[in-house]
Amino acid sequence: MTERVKLIWDFHGPNAQHIAIHHAKHLGEFAESEKLQHSFTGNEEITPMHHIAFLVVEKHLMNSLRERLKPTRGQIFDE
């Protein structure tokens, strides 16, 4: 299978969960409009005051998407 990366946006504070959920929705809309194959989005709670939204994409797309979407960080995605 193709190697994939997880682009991550961090959100902190009392509204972090709501913001991460909303941001993940927009990332999904972006992935759909760009017809990104083998990608998916989501959100996770790291702590009650730290949530993330993420977009998993094929590694070869990482540089162009990083410039366009400005994630906080990224990591190799292991299933």
Q: What is the model's pLDDT at position 1?
A: 67
* Residue 71: φ, ψ to 5°: -70, 160
| Backbone Cα Rg of the chain | 12
Render pLDDT for 21-72 as a digit per residue (tens, 0 to 9). 999 999 999 999 999 999 999 999 999 999 999 999 999 999 999 999 999 9
